[in-house]
Amino acid sequence: MVMKFVMVQKTMKKGKRGRAAVVVLGDFGRSPRMQYHALSLARQASLEVDIVAYGGSDPHGAVLDNPSIHLHTMKEVIPHGLPRIFYLLALPLKALAQFLVLLWYVCIRIPSPDVFIVQNPPSIPTLIAVKWACWLRRSAFIIDWHNFGYTLLGLSLGRSHALVKTYYWCERHFGSMADGALCVTKAMQHELAQNWGIRAVVLYDQPPEFFRPALLAEKHELFCRLKKDISHQHGLHDCVTHDIDENTGNSLFTTQIGDSLSMNENRPALIVSSTSWTADEDFEMLLQAALMYDRRVAAILNEPDSIKNEIIWSEISKGKQFLYPRLLFIITGKGPQREKYEEQIKKLNLKRVAFRTMWLKAEDYPLLLGSADLGVCLHTSSSGLDLPMKVVDMFGCGLPVCAVSYSCIEELVKVEHNGLLFASSSELADELLMLFKRFPDECDALKLLRRGAKESGASANWAFEWQQHALPLIEKVIAEKSH
């Protein structure tokens, strides 16, 4: 493989350095797959890598610290969050502004690359601008198909809208002009081949090496750092706030005595869900499941509706063991619907369930997944053909998952091995009750799924998969373009 790549490098035009450009018309810090591409291009293909993307969130430190990776941050010309009345007017204007800025970067600002690797979606204006740059700079063009852009636009406008049809035509036309393609599922590979005339190589998302189960000391340090975020967020007082003493070196989940660390017996079960707070993730389903769990546990324990939260808190502080634990949901991510759902959370009046929303540093997110008891994925896919990267990361950390069921999710989630699927709030509530009964010591079903998740994470390796599937494609298109 190494000798083959050396031969490809020798076929490049005289005086041209081995170089790749990664293009993301979005927040690069929230594009983990493209960050991993950049790392592999630098580490495994020994290329200089130029990243053209928007800023906003910091990428992982491994990307920032790599001397062969160069980040070129574009600025938003038209801001997000315009009123709905201006949405349709702003779409073409925003696309034109993005096209001009992106064209400047890919044609002039960055050094001429041997290959462009482009995240799709968004398709407009990304595919058009990069194709023009490839003509001008005689570079190879690879599209990494994460989903279909026209289906995402169709969530807000409807599939029959004229703009969606125009978007579909552009995505299909310019998508077919690429020199190579990667995609995230076999279902998407089949769709591209049968209906788009595009031959794509499947490169499943895999967690990089920094997604792994957290050590006890790492859990303790993380929970101590997050203590303020967990204790009184948005002025909430619920079933976890009374257990947090900000003046000690202990956390809600861990206790340190001298050099000895231990997990708290009466800790809540920690459930993590990462979301972009967009229309393709039904957060209402999770809120309703939490409410059902709360009410069903009260009914199981024959508690009157008038019971005071203070009684529950005092009993927990005395060490009373409940059949079902308190649940703490930590929801990570940024997006347009976050404030809407935060307002709904405040009105729920839950006794045994608490929610916290936060945005974590890139280095803390894997630690949170590696410290949690369960992951929840609300991703439904606008096309039904992509897979949620967040679940891949969870498996890398040995974290079992409850995920919304849709057409190709079973390419990733193996039911009763590394996770469970649900199609309604009631099903999710049933799964929470089943998994967390007699938590933390006697919940055998949860322990079985955790073993399966660890096996899935241990067998997954981004570097290996990238070298087997992406690198040969990159070598091929560079060699063909150089002749």
Segment 412-449, tens digit of pLDDT: 999 999 999 999 999 999 999 999 999 988 899 999 99
Residues 145 and 193 in one domain: yes
User: Could you tell me what percent of the chain has a pLDDT over 90?
Assistant: 54
User: What count of other Cβ atoms lies within 10 Å of the Cβ of residue 393?
Assistant: 24
Q: What is the pLDDT, as a whole number, of residue 190?
A: 94
List, edge to edge, every strand of the sheet that includes 201-202. 69-74, 48-54, 19-27, 115-120, 140-145, 180-183, 201-202
Examine the domain organization and report whether 226 and 237 are in the same domain: yes
Residue 141 lies in a domain: yes
Do residues 204 and 188 touch, judged by C-beta distance below 8 A?
A: no
Please report the DSSP string for 217-238 in residue order: HHHHHHHHHTHHHHHSGGG---
Band (pLDDT 50/70/90 cuts) for residue 13 is very low
Number of domains in the chain: 2
On average, the pLDDT of the chain sits at 85
Residue 331 lies in a domain: yes
Domain that holds residue 341: 216-459
Does any domain span residue 60? yes
Query: What residues does 140 pair with on adjacent strands?
Result: 115
Q: Are residues 258 and 385 in the same domain?
A: yes
Do residues 338 and 429 both lie within one domain? yes
Residues 70 and 178 placed together within one structural domain of the fold: yes
Distance between start and end Cα atoms, the chain? 20
The upper half-sphere exposure of residue 35, i.e. CA atoms within 13 Å in the direction of its Cβ, equals 23
Please give the C-alpha separations between residue 315 and each of 177, 239, 306, in angstroms, as whole numbers: 66, 11, 16
With bands split at pLDDT 50, 70 and 90, how would you rate the model's confidence at 129? Answer: very high
- Which are the contacts of 476, defined by CB distance < 8 A and separation ≥ 6? 180
The answer to the question of residue 350 being in a domain is yes
pLDDT tens digits, one per residue of 320-363? 446 899 999 999 887 777 778 888 888 888 889 999 988 888 88
- Do 455 and 469 have their domain in common? no
CATH number assigned to the domain comprising residue 369: 3.40.50.2000
pLDDT band of 258, cuts 50, 70, 90: confident
Residue 114 included in any domain: yes
Same-domain pairing of 168 and 254: no
- Per-residue pLDDT at 90: 67
Assess whether 198 and 222 both reside in one domain. no
What pLDDT score does 156 carry?
Answer: 79
**Same structural domain for residues 228 and 354?**
yes
Give the pLDDT confidence score for residue 320 in this predicted structure: 43
Chain centroid to Cα 279, Å, comes to: 15
Judge whether 211 lies within some domain: no
d(CA 127, CA 112): 17
In tens, the pLDDT along 144-200 reads 999 999 998 888 788 888 889 999 999 999 999 999 999 999 999 999 999 999 999
The verdict on 376 and 412 lying in the same domain is yes
Do residue 58 and residue 30 come from a single domain? yes
Q: Which of 436, 441, 444 is nearest to 293 (CA)?
A: 436
Looking at the fold, whether 132 and 264 belong to one and the same domain comes out as: no
Is 260 strand, coil or helix? strand
How far apart CA 367 and CA 364 sit, in angstroms, is 5
- Coil vs helix vs strand at 418: coil
Say how far apart CA 48 and CA 64 lie, in whole Å: 14
